[in-house]
Structures are given as C-alpha cells and as structure tokens.
C-alpha cells in the first residue's frame, strides 16, 4: 500500500512522493474498492442467509452499503428524489449528459458524472452507465425523466447486484406511446377518449363528428398540440401524429408509486401558473375515489414497480378520462414526504404515505417570476395578479435551508438548455429534454410532427397544459 500511495523514483537516491492529487486519487480508489466488497458481502447475506439473522440485523443490512444511481439530475423532481434517498441513508450519485446540473451542487448527492447523450450516442451512453455501475458498485438504478425508455432497455444487462427501479421495457413501450396507451386502457376497462393516427380512415370520420385534439404520438410537455374544430381538413397522413376526441372538463395530474402492481401512494395536483404549456406553479388536490379505482384497475395483474404519472380530465359527471401516461417522475413528487419516498423506493415497508393536504402550493420561483414580468409588460393584469399570488404564497420546490446551493445556482446550472432554446429556437421544455427523451430518438419524428396543421387549428391555451 505504501508503494502504491508513494511511488518512488528509482533514478534518485531517495524516495520522491507523487503529487498530492495523485495520492488522493489512489486513496479514493482503494476506499471505493473496499466499499464495493462490503456491498457485495451485504448483498449475499441479505439474499442468501437472511433467515439466519435477526430482525435488528436485517434492518441494519437494509440501510448500509446502498448506492443509488439517478440517470438524470437536471430537474427539480430528481433533486427531490435524491434528497429523499439521502435522508434515508442511501448514497446517491447522478449521471447526466450535462456537466453541471441541479443535483451536482446538492449535499444530498455524493458524486456526479457526465455521460454521453443517449439520443446521439446511445452506445456510448450505455457504456458510460455500465461503467459507473461497476466502478461505484451501484445497488439501485433509478431513472427520473424521459430517459426511462433508454434505462429500461438497459435493465436486462445489469449485474445481479444492481436493482432496476422502474417499469419494464414492454410496459413503457405500451404506455409511453399515446395510441397504445389508449388501446391498453380500454382493454383494462377504464375510460380513455378514442384516438387514431392521421393516416387511419377512422380519423376523417372522427373529425366530422366532434372537436378533436391533434398531437404527436410520442412527446411531452404539451408540445405540438392543437385543437381541431369539427369538419376541418386533416394534415398530411402520418403514423406519428394522432387525432383524439376532445373531452371537456377539469384537468387533474397524478403521480403514483407502484410496487409490484400495487398502488402504494398517489399525489394529485393541478397547474396554477404556466410557462407556455408547462405548469411552473402547482396546487395539490384531493384524489377522487373514481381516479383511485381507475389507477388500481389500470395496473392490476401487472408486476410493475416504479413511478407512473397520468393526465386526467374529469368531465361534468366526475368520470376520469385518461389522456396520457408518463412512466416516470413528475412534479407530483413535491407533494409526497421525502422520508416516505426514500423508504418506499428502497423497497422497505414505510407505512401509510404522507401526502400534502389539498390546497398546498409549490412552485419553481424563477420561472414564476419570469411569467410575472411577462404579464406586467403585456399589461395582462388578471394573469399578473394570479402569478404574484402564486409567487408569494407557494413554497419553492428546490429551496431547502439544509441544501441551499441548488436554488441559489439554479439559473447558471440551467444555462445549457436555456442557451439551446435560444440558439435552436425551440421551446424550453424541448430544449431541456431533446438529448434524453425517447421521442427525439425516433428518426424522422420531429420532421413529421412539424408538418403544417389545418388553418382552423388553435394552439392549446395555458389552461389545457401538459404537466412537465
């Protein structure tokens, strides 16, 4: 060990010490190897010899030598999850194509890694993730955003000691695709509005009968969504654009933690202030019994474990209509207790979920302030008043007295995709996800989705947002 830490220079008479940073790197590697051995032994004991140890021993083993890898750390939802895992005693590391991002300055995160962007170098991204798992002895691999599609495809290649926390690839393929999601929901006996691709003959019959929504088959954050009045001319046929019957009512968004097909917790909320079509201020809402039944019936008889986010519209009768499913984290995580969340994700019995009461407000303060300036200069007084109310009465989703740097440095940490939005003239929601989101990975999707819509189409107003 002494030789490794203090390599000698044989050309001289004495021993020449290596530079300080070299010695530190060697020590860190040695400690990492020791931690890896401990994690391996703990895993063997937990899974092979658990019946020979007592309750207290099992509890200790559940909370020692756990390393969770979050595959994207740039969003507030990922930061909330990292804090919850850290509070539970788990070592948290983050991999992200962005060198600097929200989680990189958080005290809840032990280490961050820059990896290849999966949408331009999928092989490099997989190689980077597997290398991190091996070097850091990762026990839990957890996707946090739209990269869940890539992570699910990688799950079958994980070492035996690494647990993938998320829906399997076959479920994501069905639910992330808005057409297949509706077909699956109807097959499960739950309500979802009819939808067809613009290349289907049924689409022309549907547009003659009722008002419709034109939207991409794969996408998020409400991009490329418009309303089509009855009798309108359809855009050029495409398998990547959908025509869906419009349902009028109140929007409701949910985030559920599902364990082996059992819905353990659900947080419901609505958007208050919006930046374009993306909500930046949220208000918690009660979860209707009809929505709980819908969710339980949707995942019944599945082995799904992970986060599932849904967009609902509640019609005048109170019937929930499932609009789309995002099999990932969403802003609803801010309404679930971090301590409970950390325990649940680690597979432990955490008791009854702790959900924020109805009326609780959470916001992204910088984005809300930007919207306030916009309404001020446009003299939109009612919108300005509503925005100022959210700004002063809502809790910030990022701020924490124990972990202040992510809030303080949020603007420079987000500058990479802010610049991408300005330079490439794309919405900020697209700019923040175009290097990780699966729908960007599909060849030709963006070109197909940007085909001219009918002249009668109306852009989706802020009240009909899609949650980020």
pLDDT confidence band for 419 (50 / 70 / 90)? confident
Residue 286 contacts by C-beta under 8 Å, 6 or more apart in sequence? 268, 358
Quote the tokens at residue 79: 């930061």
d(CA 166, CA 142): 7
Q: What are 32-37's contacts with CB under 8 Å, separation 24+? A: 32/135, 32/136, 32/137, 35/65, 35/137, 36/137
For the chain, the domains span: 20-166, 172-186+246-464
Alpha carbon distance 304, 165 (integer Å): 10
Q: What is the pLDDT of residue 306?
A: 94
Q: Which of 71, 78, 69 is nearest to 329 (CA)?
A: 78
Residue 15 φ/ψ region, left for φ over 0, alpha for ψ in the -120 to 50 degree band, beta for the rest = beta
**How far is the C-alpha of 146 from the C-alpha of 168, rounded, in Å?**
14
Q: Looking at the predicted structure, is the pLDDT value of residue 465 above 70?
A: no
Dihedral angle computed from the Cα positions of residues 33, 34, 39 and 41, in that order, rounded to the nearest 10 degrees = 120
Beta strands of 220-355 (E only): which ranges? 226-228, 241-245, 250-259, 262-275, 278-285, 306-314, 320-326
CATH code at 20-166: 3.40.50.720
CB neighbourhood size of 31 (10 A): 10
Q: Which two tokens stand for residue 314?
A: 């509640």
> Per DSSP, what are the bridge partners of residue 273?
281
Rg of the chain on CA atoms, in Å: 24
The distance of Cα 296 from the centroid of its chain, to the nearest Å, equals 21
Q: Of 327 and 459, which is predicted with more confidence?
A: 327
**How crowded is residue 424: how many other Cβ atoms within 10 Å of its Cβ?**
10
- Is residue 86 over pLDDT 70? yes
What is 172-186+246-464's CATH number?
3.30.470.20
Under 8 Å between Cβ of 364 and 271 = no
Q: Give the pTM.
A: 0.80
State how far the Cα of 408 lies from the Cα of 403, in Å rounded to an integer: 10
Contact predicate 449/240, CB 8 Å: yes
Structure confidence at residue 277 (pLDDT): 65
Whose tokens are 């992200």? That residue is: 96
- Cα–Cα distance, 436 to 418 (Å, whole number): 16
Interval 118-129 mean pLDDT:
93
Please report the sign of the dihedral spanned by the C-alpha atoms of residue 244, residue 246, residue 247, residue 249. Answer: positive
Counting residues of the chain whose pLDDT is more than 70, the rounded percentage is: 78
Mean pLDDT of 310-321: 93
Compute the mean pLDDT over every residue in the chain, rounded to the nearest whole number: 82
The mean pLDDT of 443-460, rounded to a whole number, is 41
353-359, long-range: CB within 8 Å, 24+ apart, which pairs? 353/257, 353/264, 353/265, 355/265, 355/266, 355/267, 355/284, 356/267, 356/284, 357/284, 358/284, 358/285, 358/286, 359/283, 359/284
217-259 residue pLDDT tens: 876 655 667 788 887 877 787 788 888 888 899 999 999 999 9
> Collapsing DSSP states into helix, strand and coil, what is residue 156?
helix
Which tokens is 273 given? 């202030």
């Amino acid at each position: 060990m002494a030789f490794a830490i203090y390599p000698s220079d044989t050309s001289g008479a004495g021993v020449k010490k290596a530079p300080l940073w070299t010695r530190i790197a060697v020590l860190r590697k040695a400690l990492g190897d020791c931690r890896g051995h401990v994690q391996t032994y703990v895993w063997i004991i937990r899974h092979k010899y658990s019946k020979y140890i007592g309750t207290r021993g099992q509890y200790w083993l559940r909370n020692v030598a756990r390393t969770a890898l979050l595959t994207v750390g740039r969003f507030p939802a990922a930061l909330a999850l990292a804090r919850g895992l850290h509070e539970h005693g788990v070592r948290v590391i983050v991999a992200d194509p962005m060198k600097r991002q929200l989680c990189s300055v958080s005290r809840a995160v032990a280490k961050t890694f820059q990896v290849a962007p999966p949408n331009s170098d999928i092989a490099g991204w997989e190689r980077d993730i597997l290398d991190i798992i091996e070097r850091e002895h990762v026990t839990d691999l957890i996707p946090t955003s739209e990269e869940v599609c890539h992570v699910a495809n990688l799950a079958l290649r994980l070492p035996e000691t690494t647990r993938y926390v998320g829906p399997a690839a076959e479920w994501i393929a069905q639910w992330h695709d808005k057409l297949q999601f509706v077909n699956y929901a109807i097959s499960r006996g739950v309500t979802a509005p009819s939808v067809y691709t613009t290349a289907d003959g049924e689409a022309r019959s549907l547009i003659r009968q009722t008002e419709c929504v034109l939207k991409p088959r794969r996408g998020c954050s409400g991009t490329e969504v418009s309303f089509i009045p009855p009798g309108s001319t359809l855009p050029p046929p495409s398998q990547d654009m959908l025509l869906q019957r419009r349902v009028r009512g109140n929007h409701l968004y949910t985030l559920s933690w599902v364990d082996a097909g059992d819905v353990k917790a659900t947080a419901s909320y609505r958007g208050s202030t919006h930046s374009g079509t993306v909500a930046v201020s949220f208000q918690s809402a009660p979860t209707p019994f009809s929505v709980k039944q819908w969710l339980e019936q949707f995942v019944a008889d599945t082995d799904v474990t992970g986060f599932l986010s849904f967009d609902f519209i509640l019609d005048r009768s109170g019937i929930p209509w499932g609009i789309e499913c995002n099999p990932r984290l969403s802003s609803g995580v801010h309404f679930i207790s971090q301590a409970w969340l950390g325990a649940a994700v680690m597979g432990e019995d955490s008791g009854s979920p702790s959900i924020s009461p109805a009326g609780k407000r959470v916001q992204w303060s910088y984005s809300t302030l930007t919207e306030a300036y916009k309404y001020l200069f446009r003299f939109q007084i009612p919108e300005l008043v509503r925005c100022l109310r959210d700004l002063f009465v809502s809790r910030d989703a990022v701020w924490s007295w124990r972990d202040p740097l992510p809030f303080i440095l949020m603007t420079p940490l987000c500058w990479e995709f802010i610049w991408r939005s300005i330079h490439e003239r794309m919405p900020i929601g697209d700019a923040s996800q175009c290097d990780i989101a699966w729908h960007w990975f599909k060849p030709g999707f963006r070109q197909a989705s940007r085909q001219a819509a009918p002249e009668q189409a109306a852009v989706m107003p802020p009240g009909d947002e899609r949650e980020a």
